[in-house]
Chain A
Amino acid sequence: MPADWTSALTLSRAEWETLTAIADAVVPGSPDDPGAVDADCVLYVDRSLAGAYAALTPIYRAGLHQLDALAETREGSRFAALALEERVGLLSELSLIFFGAQEADGVSPELAEFAEQAREHVLEGLFADPLYGGNRDLIGWKLIGFPGAQWGYSPDQRALGFDASKIPPKTLAELVAETDGSAR
């Protein structure tokens, strides 16, 4: 099971729920096809905000609040209460505004930028090594067929058309454990 709000180091329960709704809209999951929430991307972002991205915590608080306010204005309920399709639609609109492909229509540039930032961080959580708290059970790597930390690839594995999902994905910790700490 992915972590819930009781694991939070930075976010409030309400903030955790809104961020969960964002992560689910970036890469949705289902019981037999896990997504960003299943991969603990919310935990990854929460931990990053407690550490490497501490400077961004105020931006997250403001952004999550503004996103909820926008959802209230548009749909009459907070963002986390919207259906997946509505959340995808709203975030896609913010993305178009961020890239200048659509008029802001009352949306603040800060909110449009925050949505892109949160998306980027969710994807970091999906594809970074599990050491950082996301990519639980290597859900991200298995989704796209990335084998992770491999010492190297054989000539067969380097042929055009090779199905790399046949290579068991490996984490950094697993790879380092196979060495004596020094490779050369």
Chain B
Amino acid sequence: MSRQDADVVLVGLGAVGGVIAAELAAAGARVIALEKGAEYSPDQDVRKFDELRYEVRNAITPGMQSDPITWRPDERSVGCPLPWQVGPLSMGPLFLPPSLGVGGGSIHWAAWAFRFREAEFRLATTLEERFGKDILDGTTAVDWPYDYDELEPFYERAEIELGVSGRAGNLNGETQEGGNPFEAPRRSEFPMPPLDPAPTDTPFVAAVKGMGYHPYPAPAAINSEPYRGRSACTYCGFCRDYACHVGAKASTAVTHVPAALATGNLEIRSFARATEVIHDGTGTAQGVRYIDLPSMKEREVHAPLVILSAYALENARLLLASGLNENGQVGRNFITHNFPFLVGTLPEYTNLFVGPAVASSVVDDFTSELVDPAEGVLWGGPIVNFAGDQQPIEAMKMAGAGIPRFGPEFKEWMRQNYRRLFSMWSERASLPRPEYYVDLDPKVRDPFGQPALRITHDWHDSVARDVEFILARMKEIGTEMGATDMWTFPAKPPYHVSTHEVGTHRMGEDPTTSVVDSYGRSHEVANLYVVGGGQMPTYGAYNPTLTIWAMAFRTAEHLAREHGARTAGVAA
């Protein structure tokens, strides 16, 4: 190799990039990380108590002027810039890709830290067992290349290193009082006890217990007590969509990136927009080409190992923009989450702006494969008490259709009900189908001349049906809680980006039907790894981040071993 700037060049220093950079740097590899966004400092975090800046004007999520994405429901339609990116009615950062900057999506995230269920690693088989062989017709669903047991040690490592609060429900097969009785077996208890439950959790837990369900405290990647040099949560209520002002919420910006920098082996280049993987067309990558935003100059980093860890959407866009799609599988199998959501009001003050949304309870009685097949539900979802982070501007946007929108009656509604809101949410993943995919938009480009990503996706009737089932269960719970009013969001919502996109560079052992192997190594380019949620062949009913972290730790250990073997070889 003629030029080598580092041992590794990594694109995207977020949730995944942060842990991989730390592992490789600790193993002695010199890593250059290209990060499209900023390197934030704690003085900026203190200024985060600003709903307009972060929640409404999307200060840390990709702007659709600089990072356009287009969407169309089907191939007969022309892709248009997403309606919520430039239209007058904003919909908030939840319906954009995750936050940019060092820490990536682990800055803005709400910190729900679920493990996937055992059945979610063999979703295709489970569906066939429950509904017969035909059930997968029209889908491209397959089982994962490994099972839950393979990932369990990495889940444990993620929970310990990032810091997750919760209560075990299944320790080595033994059911534990107070935890989730349906959870997959864990080798160890959570490193911290659960967060204090939010105000609305009292009526939620009472209602679901009375209905015979099994509530448990949501696993939260937020410190319930001081942990590894980081503070405990202050319950400020500016958590989802915001950085944490005390570093209590897990983000690689406060855990693994500082550790990687301390080794002296990580160099961060922020405001660096990767444009393509440099490769010779014969299966070897030389490095990454990028635009250095401060100088507006095109630059290159050359390294023998190239890692893309820039989110499922940007990873796919970079592969396609680099001409790396030999088998046509890049961007196929796009999957995202539909969020069944119920909002309502209770007689007493619930103060939904107090504390993080995740400081609450969950019931898994209808989750994934646990829902009774006789209900006709393909794949269920958890019912989660969405218990905090509800500042006023967003709250007023969530007011239901029957609520007055103008005048004295609207004013009185706000006065009476802003402090009496409660909400529940769930997640229903779509199944991968040939007609849902991402590719490069043939027309739209970003301001730097790079092609925009185009999403072709619509909500399948089977998803909407399952969402309606979950919404009906939520309404029953809300009634038990004593709701004075309730309304729900549409089962086929207007968004097609949920910050939970996966599947776009599927992992698998067969190089004709997948993009990468189980570690994220490209089938097409031997020294290129493409890692993150984009690897997932099918999708669980929980927030993906902890699973993405577990997958990243598995890849990180593999890469560190390989680096060790290489350097040992050189030394010998």
User: Chain A interface (Cβ within 8 Å of chain B)?
Assistant: 25-28, 35, 52, 56, 59, 84-85, 87-88, 91-92, 95, 99, 101, 113-114, 116-117, 119-120, 123-124, 126-129, 131-132, 140-141, 143-153, 155, 157-164, 172, 175-176, 179, 181-184
Question: Do the beta carbons of B49 and A120 come within 8 Å of each other?
Answer: no
Q: Chain B interface residue count: which class?
A: 35 or more
Known pairs A128-B393, A172-B50; A158 contacts B199 (CB<8 A): yes
| Min CB–CB distance B497 → chain A (angstroms) | 20
Question: Do the beta carbons of B42 and A182 come within 8 Å of each other?
Answer: yes
Question: Do the beta carbons of B408 and A28 come within 8 Å of each other?
Answer: yes
Q: Which of B23-31, B126-134, B409-417, B430-438 contacts A (4 or more CB under 8 A)?
A: B409-417
B405 contacts partner chain A, Cβ-Cβ < 8 Å: yes
Question: Do the beta carbons of B411 and A158 come within 8 Å of each other?
Answer: no
Complex Cα distance, B46 from A181, in Å, reads 7
Question: Do the beta carbons of A120 and B89 come within 8 Å of each other?
Answer: yes
Question: Do the beta carbons of B406 and A26 come within 8 Å of each other?
Answer: yes
User: Chain B interface (Cβ within 8 Å of chain A)?
Assistant: 42-43, 45-47, 49-52, 56-57, 88-90, 196, 198-200, 202-203, 230-231, 233-238, 245-247, 254, 348-351, 353-355, 391-393, 396-397, 401, 404-408, 410-411, 414-415, 418-419
Query: 8 shortest A-B CB distances, which residue pairs?
Result: A152-B234, A149-B49, A88-B407, A128-B52, A144-B418, A127-B392, A117-B88, A160-B199
Q: Can you spell out 27 A-B residue pairs with CB atoms less than 8 angstroms apart?
A: A25-B406, A27-B414, A35-B411, A92-B407, A120-B90, A123-B392, A128-B50, A128-B51, A128-B393, A144-B392, A144-B414, A144-B418, A146-B392, A149-B50, A153-B234, A153-B235, A153-B236, A158-B196, A158-B354, A158-B355, A161-B349, A164-B349, A172-B49, A176-B46, A181-B43, A184-B230, A184-B254
Complex Cα distance, B198 from A54, in Å, reads 40
- What residues on A are CB-neighbors of B233 within 8 Å? 152
Question: Do the beta carbons of B351 and A162 come within 8 Å of each other?
Answer: yes
- What residues on B are CB-neighbors of A128 within 8 Å? 50-52, 56, 393
- What residues on A are CB-neighbors of B348 within 8 Å? 160-161
Complex Cα distance, B43 from A155, in Å, reads 27
Question: Apart from A123-B393, A184-B231, what 12 extra A-B contacts exist at CB < 8 Å?
Answer: A26-B407, A119-B405, A128-B50, A143-B415, A148-B49, A151-B234, A151-B236, A153-B234, A160-B199, A160-B349, A172-B49, A184-B42
CB-contact partner of B198 in A123, A158, A172, under 8 A: A158
Tally of A-B residue pairs with Cβ under 8 A? 162
Known pairs A113-B88, A117-B88, A181-B43; A150 contacts B351 (CB<8 A): no
Complex Cα distance, B89 from A176, in Å, reads 31
Question: Do the beta carbons of B349 and A150 come within 8 Å of each other?
Answer: no
Known pairs A25-B407, A28-B407, A162-B199; A123 contacts B396 (CB<8 A): yes
Question: Do the beta carbons of A143 and B391 come within 8 Å of each other?
Answer: no
Question: Do the beta carbons of B349 and A144 come within 8 Å of each other?
Answer: no
- What residues on B are CB-neighbors of A91 within 8 Å? 405-406
Question: Do the beta carbons of A164 and B351 come within 8 Å of each other?
Answer: yes
Complex Cα distance, B43 from A99, in Å, reads 42
| Min CB–CB distance B190 → chain A (angstroms) | 21
- What residues on A are CB-neighbors of B414 within 8 Å? 27, 143-144
CB-contact partner of A129 in B45, B52, B354, under 8 A: B52
CB-contact partner of B418 in A99, A145, A155, under 8 A: A145
- What residues on B are CB-neighbors of A131 within 8 Å? 50
CB-contact partner of B246 in A52, A116, A183, under 8 A: A183
- What residues on A are CB-neighbors of B391 within 8 Å? 127, 146
Question: Do the beta carbons of B89 and A117 come within 8 Å of each other?
Answer: yes
| Min CB–CB distance A17 → chain B (angstroms) | 18
Complex Cα distance, B202 from A127, in Å, reads 28
Known pairs A144-B414, A152-B236; A183 contacts B408 (CB<8 A): no
| Min CB–CB distance B194 → chain A (angstroms) | 14
- What residues on B are CB-neighbors of A175 within 8 Å? 46, 49
- What residues on B are CB-neighbors of A179 within 8 Å? 46
- What residues on A are CB-neighbors of B52 within 8 Å? 124, 128-129, 132
| Min CB–CB distance A174 → chain B (angstroms) | 10
Complex Cα distance, B246 from A172, in Å, reads 16
Question: Do the beta carbons of A95 and B406 come within 8 Å of each other?
Answer: yes
- What residues on A are CB-neighbors of B245 within 8 Å? 151, 183
- What residues on B are CB-neighbors of A117 within 8 Å? 88-89
Question: Do the beta carbons of B43 and A182 come within 8 Å of each other?
Answer: yes
CB-contact partner of A162 in B203, B230, B349, B408, under 8 A: B349
Which residue of chain B has its CB nearest to the CB of A95? B405
- What residues on A are CB-neighbors of B410 within 8 Å? 26-27
- What residues on B are CB-neighbors of A160 within 8 Å? 199-200, 202-203, 348-350
Which residue of chain B has its CB nearest to the CB of A154? B235
Which residue of chain A has its CB nearest to the CB of B200? A160
- What residues on B are CB-neighbors of A164 within 8 Å? 349, 351, 353-354, 419
Question: Do the beta carbons of A144 and B415 come within 8 Å of each other?
Answer: yes
- What residues on B are CB-neighbors of A119 within 8 Å? 405-406
CB-contact partner of B354 in A56, A151, A157, A183, under 8 A: A157
CB-contact partner of B88 in A56, A92, A152, A184, under 8 A: A56
Which residue of chain A has its CB nearest to the CB of B87? A113
Best-surrounded residue of B88, B200, B414 (most CB of chain A within 10 A): B88
Which residue of chain A has its CB nearest to the CB of B254? A184
- What residues on B are CB-neighbors of A144 within 8 Å? 392, 414-415, 418-419
Known pairs A35-B411, A129-B52, A153-B354; A92 contacts B89 (CB<8 A): no
| Min CB–CB distance A117 → chain B (angstroms) | 4
